Structures are given as C-alpha cells and as structure tokens.
Amino acid sequence: MLIEPKLWRLDGQTTTLLLVQDHGVPRLVWFGDTLSSKLNISQLQMHDDSALAFGSLDAVTPLSLFPQASTGYTGSPALNGHRNGKQFAHCLTTTSVRQSSNTLYINLTDEYTHIEVSLELSLHPQSDVVSLQTTLRNVGNSAYTVDWIASATMPLPGNYRECLTQHGRWGLENQTHRRHIAPGRIDISNLHGRTSHEHSPGLACGTAGFGNDHGDVTFAQLAWSGNFSLRVERLSNGNVALQSGVLYLPGECILQSGESLTTPVTSFTRGSGMNACTQQFHRYARQAVLPAWTRTQRPIHANSWEALYFNHDSKELFELIDAAAGIGAERFVLDDGWFKHRRDDTKGLGDWYVDESIYPQGLTPIVNHVRQHGMQFGLWFEPEMVNPNSDLYRAHPEWALHVDNIQTPLARDQLVLDIARKEVSDYLFERITSLVHEYNISYIKWDHNRDLVLPGDGSCARAAKQPEALYTLLARILATCPGLEIETCSSGGARCDLGVLQHTGRVWTSDNIDPIERTSIQCGFQRFFPPEIMGAHVGHKKAHLTGRDTSLHTRAVVALQGQYGFELDARKLDDQDVITLKHYTELYKAHRHWLSEAVFWQLTTHSKAVQACGNVEHNQQQALYSVVVIGNMHSTRAGHLPLSGLDPNANYTLALASANKTELAAFNKVLPPWCEAPQSTRGELLMKIGVPLPVMPPQSALLIHCEQHSTS
C-alpha cells in the first residue's frame, strides 16, 4: 500500500535520529552524528538500499522498528504470539505518529488479529542516549498468548563485524567476550530469574577491531532484572539488527481481552570508540535513571561481613565499630545474622525480627554506638528469600515460588518468595519499614542470593512478575522512608541493570574483593555504569574468595575506583596499616566532591598485564588515574601510559597520589622523577607521549593525580 512519506527527527547534543514512515511501520534511517537541518525525505530515499536480488521476494521491505513475518522479514520478529494456535501472523500498520519534544509516540494496529502496539522512542538530549519501549494491547474478545515481544529492534550498520558481551560467574562477573557477527543470530539468553552473574543485559557492537577510542560502536542495554534475551542477527540480504526483550517462560504471558503489557526500556547510544559510548551511558544514568541522592558525596562504608560473618557478639561488634571509625568509616553496615534464629545460613531467612537471644535490648545499643562515632547505620536484608527452616515458611509454605509435585532445588538452603503476591509484599513492606523507622536506618543492603528455579505459583510460571513486584515494593518503601538509601546486592553483582537502578543507587559489584580479580570486574561494570555507584571495598590481605595475598596499597587503589569502603576486620590492623588506610581515606574525601560527575576513561595500555582507567573532573581541572599490574609483563619496563580526557592546552602538576613510593622503589634502580616529587607538564604531552611508569611487579598498583596550574 502506497502512503505519503513522512520524516521525523530527534536531535541531541551530537546526535541526530531520523525516522521515515513510508511503509506499514516507520523505520530508522539514521542514528549517529548530527546531520544537516536541511535534509528532506526525497534526499534520504535516494540512499535507500533498493536493489532486488534473484531468489528473493518480489519487493524490498526495509527493516522497520517492529519487524513482522508478514512483510517477508525472515529474522527474529518483534512479536511472536497467537490465539490458541491461530492468528499467529500479524500485519500491523501505522495509525498515528506524534512528536512531543524529543519523544515520538507511534501507534500501530492489526484489525485482523485485534492487537494494538505503541512504540515510545525518546532521545535524551544531554546524553545522546535513545530509549525505546513497546506496549501491546489485546483488543480482541479472546485471550492472546505472547511468546516473545521485543522491547526494541534497532538496525545496525552493515559494516559492523564484532559484538562485545559480558559474562561470568559468582565472584567473577562482567568478563569481556568478543565475537564475530557472522551470518545467523547471536542470542544471549538469560534464564536465571535475576539479571545474573552469567550474563550482563548490555552489549556493544561495532566495526572490526573497535576499541576504547576508535571504531564505530553502538551500546545497548535492557532495563530489566529478570529473564531476558539479547539478539544480534545478520541476514543473507545484509541486514543487521539488534533486538532485546523479556524472555518469557511457557504460558507466562497471556493477555486477556482488554489487557496490555509494557516492555522494559532498551537504551542505545552510538559513538567513536567505547569510551564515548560509556560516557554517554554514564550521563544518561546520572540524569535520567539514578536516585537523586547518588549526586551527593558518597559516604565511606564499613561492612561487618568479612570481619565477623555470623558472630554477632556485642563486645566484638563494639570493638569493630570503634576500629572502623578509627580508619575513617562514615557508615557502618550490620550484615547477615542479626535476625531471629540466624546463627548460620541454614535457617531464619524470612523472620525479620531482631533476635533477642543475642540482642536482648534490640539493635539500640549497637545503633547508638555507631552514631556516637558520627557514623550512619545500615542494615542487611534479603527480603525475597526464605529458609524452609524458618517461622515464616512453616506458617506459609505456599508463599515460596514452586511447581506442584516437583521439589524445588535449594541454594544456600533457601527458597524464593513469591513477592508478586500481595500478602507477601505487604509482610515485607511492614517488616522493613518498621525496622527503618524504629532504628532510623539510613541505608539497606538488599541482597538476593540465588537464582529462580521453578518460579511458579504451583501451576503457572511467574518469573516475569518478580522484577515488576520488586520495583513496586522498592518504590513503596522509599515513598514511606524518603531518606532511605538502598544498595542492590545479589550475591555480588547478579542484579545490576537500569531497571533496578531507578530505585537503588549503589551496587555491590562482586563478592570477590581480591583487587586483581576486581580490576577486570570493575572494568566491565564501568563500561555501562558510573563509578560512584560501584561498591568497592578494601579487603583483608588474604582475599577470602581467592586466597591471594596483596599489598594494602593495591587493595586501596582498586577500591578508590568506586564508592570506597572497608570489608575487613579493622581491629587487626597494625599501626602502619592504619596510617596507610587513613591516607587513602583522606584522598577519597578530598576528591569525592567531583567524582560523582567525573568523566570516565578506560585507558589503552601496551601490555595485557597492565590495566588502567581514570576519572577526569568535568571541567578538566584535575584527574585521578589508577594503574594495576595483574601479572608479569614481557618487557622489563612498563613504558609510557598515555592519559585521556585532559585539556591539551593546560599545564598540569603530575604527582604520585598513592603512598607506595617506598614499595615501588624496591623494584627500581631509578624511579621516574614524578614519583619522587610532583612535576609540571602539558596536557597534550600527558596524552600524546604519556606518563613514564616505574617498574611495577605483578599485583602492584599506583594512583596518578593530575591538577591544572597556571604558568605564573
């Protein structure tokens, strides 16, 4: 059917998005660098790929924002659904397109299958990040089963050849994996019921060999904390598309007559090199996603877990609080073990009442002692879980997710509560808010320590209802406790995405705080998320998860990449360790006022053994760069490290900010002059020639500080 072509345009700071409506569903013809304002639709149509090959359909239908099999599209359609096996094919056409500021509202209708689709496409002008989500409505008289609906389908340039995704496991999250975009589909399917350790809901696609500062790159991330699918597909006709959406379990999504569903948002951005895309995602998260309190100076945490585990002896806790305050902690978090029956991880989950056998006066003495040191008090919860050995489970076994006649496998001796049930959500809301009000709790560490296996209500699957119920519960708690801050922790980094981060503003990045392992974990994390929300703690000399011994300087330098804190027994530090930690604590306090808006740069190094990144103040007045050597280098010297993000025309003072000159000197006959005393140089030289690094042994680290100064 011929229609009058129409052109729609959205503009950001450096980005233009062009949408053309000349077929059944609008299509994206450009998303990238700003284009001339004088473009017209006839000029754009001249650039259409209209060649028609033999052995194909008799007409070319361009890839639309909502591709359908009825147009001859042979890739992953935007919708797979049916009415009891019938009406499985869809022929949606545009009924209206409306623009309001930087958002397009596109409405589609299929009169035969009686469904309606609305697409909401926005360009965030300050960050150049595009967001797209889809609403599906069943306007028929019978139930409609949804097997798959894409949050977004975005065409990618045909010259894109590589896809970078992030995978891992517990204690080793966000590890980078790069693969060729070959014919067929790359499908990252996550069925863990949470964002997961195994698969990040974000990816990068680009031209061959794209890197930190080169190549044409597109980033995408799905704002969803449950099962998902990310798909990158190259068809034989040359089309390349990226698609994302919720991965529903069988029969999980059935829309009755008159019902609708709205998908999570998928966010995209495009830039020259990964650093450009990272910086745009960081701006988007800061301005459009994260809670407002993340823009304030972030306090230094001390967490009780690796110091005491389940040993909640009051005398030891008081001593630990004193010692944590002595090294500069500003918030003390009481971790697992404070509630009824919880002497180990086999019982008590769900019984959110203070255990009077160890706290006969409640938490008041502990809270008061924390506040006597001027620290905030935080408390650990794992609200969505229940131990079979608990009062809650004995009273309400039906509250746990399950499938009748199949025994649900345990993990950490626990099951998952069906928080989409009103009575479950109400119970958790009452318990959490009561404790927050009673003890004036300022912070909650919200944990989630297992995958969802057999997530049903007895008969039907309910995995997709859990993230939605979580967001609702978090919003309800925060509305009742407006000063409360919540951290998302899921046995480390298994629940981190732009969905949960609308309600939480800190992420426990990984249970692994070995600084050598953390270097790659934090690199992957910061690819999509800003560093100030990344929980990064100084741990014990011997890492509890790996058994590796590392220098206190290395542990502190890596912790300073994020929201700095302690996960150690400060009572056992010797005098020199206390002095060392105080140095890094004061360093964090001196710079955190600008770090929450800093521009992040991943640096390219000459050796795979050297990892480096930096934060630059938004006005380029100063910067902190961390360098970590994770293993032996082939060369005897580390060579030069070119920095990024500085003003090339400014003069900078270059200084060693880490307090480990003596430690490094043991491996150097001669140290570079800037390690001995601050040196003056030009920004262009720091970025083009680079900083001459000292000889650095494996598992060592240093921190570089650059600060602008005048020549006078």
* Helix (H/G/I), strand (E/B), else coil: 22: coil
Residue 569 confidence (pLDDT) above 80: yes
Catalytic residue among 447, 451, 497, 514: 447
Residue pLDDT, tens place only, 89-121: 999 999 999 999 999 999 999 999 999 999 999
Whether residue 22 lies in the annotated active site: no
Whether residue 447 lies in the annotated active site: yes
Cβ-contact 685, 652 below 8 angstroms: no
Determine the average pLDDT of the residues in 348-368: 97
For residue 380, list its beta bridge partners. 445
Residue 82 confidence (pLDDT) above 70: yes
Residue pLDDT, tens place only, 130-150: 999 999 999 999 999 999 999
Q: Classify the C-alpha dihedral 521-523-527-528 as positive or negative.
A: positive
Q: Whose structure tokens read 């060369």? A: 635
Residue pLDDT, tens place only, 677-694: 999 999 999 999 999 999
CA distances, 393 to each of 338, 351, 389, 415, 440 (Å): 18, 9, 7, 9, 28
What integer best gives the mean pLDDT of the chain?
95
Which residues, other chains included, contact 84 with Cβ-Cβ below 8 Å and sequence gap of 6+? 142, 143, 145
Catalytic residue among 351, 497, 511, 514: 511
Instruction: Identify the band that residue 192 occupies on the pLDDT scale cut at 50, 70 and 90.
Output: very high
Domains of the chain: 6-48+58-89+96-289 (2.70.98.60), 601-709 (2.60.40.1180)
Determine the average pLDDT of the residues in 73-80: 94
Q: Whose structure tokens read 């710079």? A: 591
Cα separation, 419 vs 427, in Å, equals 10
Residue 1 confidence (pLDDT) above 60: no
pLDDT of residue 22: 83
Instruction: Identify the band that residue 5 occupies on the pLDDT scale cut at 50, 70 and 90.
Output: confident
Of 224, 223, 206, residue with least CA distance to 215: 206
Residue pLDDT, tens place only, 491-540: 999 999 999 999 999 999 999 999 999 999 999 999 999 999 999 999 99
Reported for 102-108, long-range contacts at CB under 8 A and 24+ positions apart, including other chains, are: 102/10, 102/11, 102/12, 103/10, 104/8, 104/10, 104/19, 106/25, 106/26, 106/65, 108/25, 108/66
Greatest Cα pair distance, the chain, in angstroms, is 83
pLDDT of residue 711: 66
Determine the average pLDDT of the residues in 33-50: 81
Residue pLDDT, tens place only, 423-449: 999 999 999 999 999 999 999 999 999
